[in-house]
Amino acid sequence: MSGNTNSNMPLVETLRVIQQSRGKEDIVVTTMGTGREWSGFEQHPLDLVYVPSSMGQATSVALGLAIAQPDRRVIVCQGDGSLLMNLGSLVTITSRMPQNLVVLLMENRVYEITGRQGTPGTAELRADGQDTDFAELARAAGFPEVLEFDDLAAWRDAASMVLSSSGPVFAVLKVEPVSGETAPRSPGPAWERATALRERLTRSSGGA
């Protein structure tokens, strides 16, 4: 489902499609650059903007939520620089095969938050001169459903299907870096946000 590789998607518009296509009971986890942009949207009660964060841990957090909340869809949006910090999480995810987990990789080939330095996955910084193929990494890790998008119209048309497919799903969304932006700011103390999310999950599930 890939389009013209010379014109990748704007990050904000790519995330906006996710916001508009999510289900009311879906949990959305964002971090680093995706968290910064997601914070600019109207917040949903089941948003988890994972800032401050240990870089790369959003996939692990999302897996835990998917296991703990099997009746909810969990969508995690993470950059390629972050995923490179925790590639092992892909194998951990497929060891459990949570059908309610969707991993959306925003691939822009840079560490955007720290100054847009190229990642080790970038062809220009690799001895073999080849970009790392994250879709193939996901397939090798055992993801049964792997998709790629670099055209906004194609992504908009397919998003609802991707977000509702039986998981675990892995989709590479090729996006352009956002220039001139600052690092994400914490929405507040982490323990307070975690407690609030737990309370919202309990209330909406009708639990005690």
Q: Which CATH number is 58's domain given?
A: 3.40.50.970
Total domains in the fold of the chain: 1
The pLDDT confidence band at residue 204, using thresholds 50, 70 and 90, is confident
49: helix, strand or coil: strand
Residue pLDDT, tens place only, 64-119: 999 999 999 999 999 999 999 999 999 999 999 999 999 999 999 888 777 678 78
- Model-level pTM? 0.85
Residue 1 lies in a domain: no
Instruction: Residue 120: give the domain boundaries.
Output: 9-205
The Cα–Cα gap between 197 and 135 comes to: 31
**Integer CA distances (angstroms), 112 to 103, 107, 117, 143, in order:** 19, 11, 7, 27
